[in-house]
Structure formats: structure tokens, C-alpha cells
Structure 1
């Protein structure tokens, strides 16, 4: 193969490398990398970007200077494609995902994926897991404990059977309106000696002290887990949270789930978590729309377990966040109380 043909091949390779470099650099610069990869793995993307830049420079040098001989002793096993259709096939395999990456818009996960994977609600299923992990609470801060997802048949069993049951007042763990304010020691005593670990005890105390529990991105997963563990104690507490609207066919017109996706490594392993919301105007909120919900937690007894339902008193439309996913971080929120 003559030098001109060799240079053309290296020029095409350089263009492909430049494309992947620009695509990854664009994702990093615009903070859209979170749509594909968990933040704790971003460092590997930065290393990959540096390697791509280096490979691009080497390929451009070869395209400009050409090569006199193959540098590997592989008996032409890695020779350049010698026909146009082989070239189109080889380079097309790299060009196709590159074009798709630039032309196709980012799509965050939503209800369609949630319906297939199941959703974890405030249903005390996590209590079983926490009791097993309680003896190793020191290591719990370094592990990601993901409660089991609730499939559609299981969720049907957990929802109120009829409107009367739906509207029945909670008899488990309700907080009286005029109850005296507890001291810090009294609050801690409520959550001590449960075997769930020091972290969940500390987080339960921090959340309970808030006049309105802020279940924001930072504590969404850890907060849900904590309220599952101490369902009776958190019944009657007022919370405010934020997420996308998820519904299943068996939901009533007054029910939806305010949900978030949790990503451990990448979106391929995403799980769905949320709170069942009851509101008289729930039907006005479209599926996958983002809402901010404020209301009071009510306890329901289902098959011997306590399930927390958020009785909304305020639902308002919200803008989707820049990073739509939430993560376990085992940090305590700042106390507002």
C-alpha cells in the first residue's frame, strides 16, 4: 500500500478519535456525564479522556508523516483494509455510535423503565435487611444497601383495598398535634437499641428534629431507608420531597408515586425508589412530570407490616434537575431544628 493510501487511513482514524474525544469532553464540560455514570466513577472518564487525547495526537502524527513499515511483529495480521467496502465496514463500526452520540438527545430514565424493574416504596421490607446488617454497622457506611424492589403484584397487595380504607385515619404512630416537644436525649432514646446501626440512628435523630423533613437529593435514599426502619416513629411527621410522577394501572385516581432512580455504577444498574402519594388532584399530574410534594406521613398496616403513605397537602410542578439520579452517601443532613 502506497504512502498516500496509508495516510488516508490514519487520517480517518484520527477523525474518529477526535470525534470520541470531543464527545466525552462535551459530556464532562456540560455535566451530562451523570446521565450515564455515577459520580464516583467519573475519575475513570477523566483518565479515558486523557488517553484519547494522547491517541489522537499520535494518530495525527502518523497521518501527517506516514509510516515506512508496520511497527508490530505480527506478520501483517493488523494490516490496513485494502478495499473500500472493508474500510467502510471497519470505520463504520466506530462512526455509527459516534454519530448517535452527537445526534441523539440525552434521555433520562422514567416510568417505562421503572415499570419493568419494580419500585421500592416505604414498606418496611428493608427492615429485614437492616436487622441482618445491624451487627456490622461500622462497615455499613462503606457499603451500599439496596432494599428489594416491589413488583407490581406485591404493590397491589400493599395499596389500600378500597376508598374507605384509603381514607381511614392512621392508628399507628400518629404524632399528636399538641404533643410536647421532645429533648435531644428523648429523641435519641426513641431510635436507640434497635440494632439497625449507629448511622441510621444518627440520621433518624437528625431527620426527626426537622420541623418539615427535607427529603432532598443528598439524603433521599438514606432518608427513605431510615423512615422504613422506623416507620411507626415517623408516622405523623411532615416531609417535603421531589421526584418524577410514576403510576401503575391499578392505582386509583388519587394515587401516584414520587420516585427517583438510584445509580450505583451506571444507568444499566439503576433502581427505582419512591413514596406513595395520595392527593385529591393526583390525576392532574402527567406521568414522568417532575413535582415537589409536601404532606404528612400516615402509617398503614399491611400484612403485619407498617407502610408509610404521604398524604399530600401541597403538590406543585417542578423543573427536572440537572442530575436526575440520587445516590447513597451516608452523610448526615444539617439540622434545621
Structure 2
């Protein structure tokens, strides 16, 4: 019997990828990398890696007499690698590229995006362009709400990942009827888009929300951004959303501090663009949520 070390190493890589995906799902850390609606695809990928591992195991051992004679013909020379050719620079680089995400995945804890990333992305510029973004795309809009201060019954879409356009329109109507807007994680993206489209419509309403502190250099001392990261597909496309806030205790808060706040919606301008401003009346520090990111719910095309 002959042991093929490279084939064994490839089998190990397949098993490691499968194990890593299982681990991320077991710990819940997978949602720090992808939108939960893709969890099914990720789980499928882990199973496929496992199946490929079992197939690869059959290539690890072979008899001495066994050869790849079927691949060596005078008129059809073999140009592909069976895994038993000597290591070279090209192979080493390829293995390193494949192994690197495994090493980081197993030995480094996933880091949540924070104020430093918001600074690199240009948070204030992104927020001031929110109206233009709202006009372009609608995938970040639909979500749901549980309470209603008006006369109509609230719709319950808490567990829905896709809602119809009719349900979304009903959701927006409920937002307009509310005296107090509660920005829970499920409704945040939808309500944020609607408020951004017509800030003046919601001026004077009470609002409750949570987020992490980000202080832009262009803001005054008593102002800060109460921010969240929105992930549409994966962490690579994360965008910052949030509200400019104003209160006397703002200077005492450091970047990345998570707070829960209540206040009154007002309107301000930044670079000639109207933005919502929350004048905070009550707030408290909180721990970083177990799920710090926001995820949109898609509108079902009928």
C-alpha cells in the first residue's frame, strides 16, 4: 500500500472546510458573515464538502501496482495533476491561499464591524446620500412591525423573510399612523428608508432605537451618529445606516459604545441634504447585542 500525502492533505482541507462551516452554524457566528437567508446554502455547502471529503479519502491509499496508465497514451499525453507530483512553488502558493481562511476561521474570533469601519466608509457621506439610494433600490426596504398606535390592526411578519408589496405598503401605513416609532431590528431598515425619503412627514414623532456611537469630525460636540451596519448579502457589502442625534451628554460617550435611546425626530441639513435629527430625551448604555447587524427582508415580486 502506498500513502499519497498530497491526496491526504486535500482530504484534510475538505474536512476542515466542512467542520468550519458546521462550527460557525453551531456557534451562531455565521450571521456575522452572511445574511441569515443564506444559511441554507451555507449548510448545503458544508454537506457537499463532507461528501467530497469521503470521495477524496478513496484516493489517499493505493496499491504499488496501481498506476495512472490510462492517462498515458502516445497520442493523448496527460497534462493534469493526480496529486502525486512533487510540490513546487505554484502548488505551495495555491495551498496557502486555500489554507489561510481555514486558519483565520478556526483561530481568530470574528470581529464585529465598528466605528473604525464606519469612518473608512465615510458614514456622514453615506447617510447624506440615503435619499438617492432609496430612489435606486428597494431590496433594503421591507420589514415588519408589531405595535400600532393607530386604529388599524398591526400586521405580524416577525418570522417572514420575504413579504409581498401589499404587506410592505401596509407596513408603511402603520409607520405613518404611529406616534412613537420603535426601531426594532426587524423593522429598522424599512422604517429607516421611509423616514429618509420624507423626513418632514415624521417630524415631531417620538422614536426609540439602539445602536453604537460613531463620532464624525464634522459634527458638533453634542452630536453623534447612532449607527448600525446593514448586511444585504454578506459582510463585504455592509453599509452603515443610522441617525444623527443631539444631546448634552454626547461628549461623554466613546466610539463603539452601544446605547438605547428615546427622543424626538427633527430635521437638519448636511451638505444641502435634509437629514433626520433625533433630539434625545432619555438614553442608557447597553451591551453589544448578540446580533449586532441588521438584515433586510426582500419584497416578493408578484
TM bin (shorter chain)? 0.7 to 0.9
Deviation at 1:328, TM superposition (A): 2.2
Deviation at 1:114, TM superposition (A): 1.5
Deviation at 1:303, TM superposition (A): 7.6
Structure 1 SS opposite 2:60? helix
TM-score (norm. length: structure 2): 0.77
Asked whether 1:288 is paired with 2:256, we answer yes
Q: Hey, what does 1:77 align to over in structure 2?
A: 80
Query: Structure 1 residues 54, 304: CA separation in 2 closer, same or farther (over 3 Å shift)?
Result: closer
CA RMSD of aligned residues (A): 3.2
CA distance in 2, matches of 1:182, 1:18: 55
Q: Hey, what does 2:160 align to over in structure 1?
A: none
Structure 2 SS opposite 1:310? strand
Query: Structure 1 residues 203, 59: CA separation in 2 closer, same or farther (over 3 Å shift)?
Result: same
> For residues 83-139 of structure 1, what are the alpha-carbon distances to aligned partners after superposition, in whole Å with 9 as ceiling and x for unaligned?
466675554443333112111120111222222223343x69527954x88xxxxxx
Q: Hey, what does 1:137 align to over in structure 2?
A: none
Q: Hey, what does 1:111 align to over in structure 2?
A: 115
> Any unmatched runs of 5+ in structure 1?
134-139, 147-180, 185-196, 332-337
Q: Hey, what does 2:12 align to over in structure 1?
A: 15
Q: Hey, what does 1:273 align to over in structure 2?
A: 241
Q: Hey, what does 1:253 align to over in structure 2?
A: 221
Asked if 2 retains the 8 angstrom alpha-carbon contact of 1:235 and 1:299, the reply is yes
| Matches for 1:98-247 after TM superposition, within 5 Å | 98-119=102-123, 120-121=126-127, 126=131, 129-130=134-135, 143-144=139-140, 202-247=170-215
Structure 2 SS opposite 1:256? strand
Given the alignment, which residue of 2, 24, 30 partners 1:4? 2
CA distance in 2, matches of 1:20, 1:238: 48
Q: Hey, what does 1:58 align to over in structure 2?
A: 55
> Any unmatched runs of 5+ in structure 2?
72-76, 143-148, 153-164
Query: Structure 1 residues 307, 93: CA separation in 2 closer, same or farther (over 3 Å shift)?
Result: closer
Structure 1 SS opposite 2:262? strand
Between stretches 288-297 and 226-235, larger displacement belongs to 226-235
Structure 2 SS opposite 1:28? helix
> For residues 275-303 of structure 1, what are the alpha-carbon distances to aligned partners after superposition, in whole Å with 9 as ceiling and x for unaligned?
00111111222111211111111123668
Deviation at 1:61, TM superposition (A): 2.8
Structure 1 SS opposite 2:244? strand
CA distance in 1, matches of 2:57, 2:201: 65
CA distance in 1, matches of 2:173, 2:30: 34
Query: Structure 1 residues 202, 57: CA separation in 2 closer, same or farther (over 3 Å shift)?
Result: same
Deviation at 1:145, TM superposition (A): 6.5
In the alignment of these two chains, the number of paired residues is: 272
Structure 2 SS opposite 1:292? strand
Deviation at 1:233, TM superposition (A): 2.4
> For residues 247-271 of structure 1, what are the alpha-carbon distances to aligned partners after superposition, in whole Å with 9 as ceiling and x for unaligned?
1112222111111111122111111
TM-score (norm. length: structure 1): 0.70
Given the alignment, which residue of 286, 290, 293 partners 1:322? 290
Asked if 2 retains the 8 angstrom alpha-carbon contact of 1:241 and 1:293, the reply is yes
Asked if 2 retains the 8 angstrom alpha-carbon contact of 1:256 and 1:282, the reply is yes
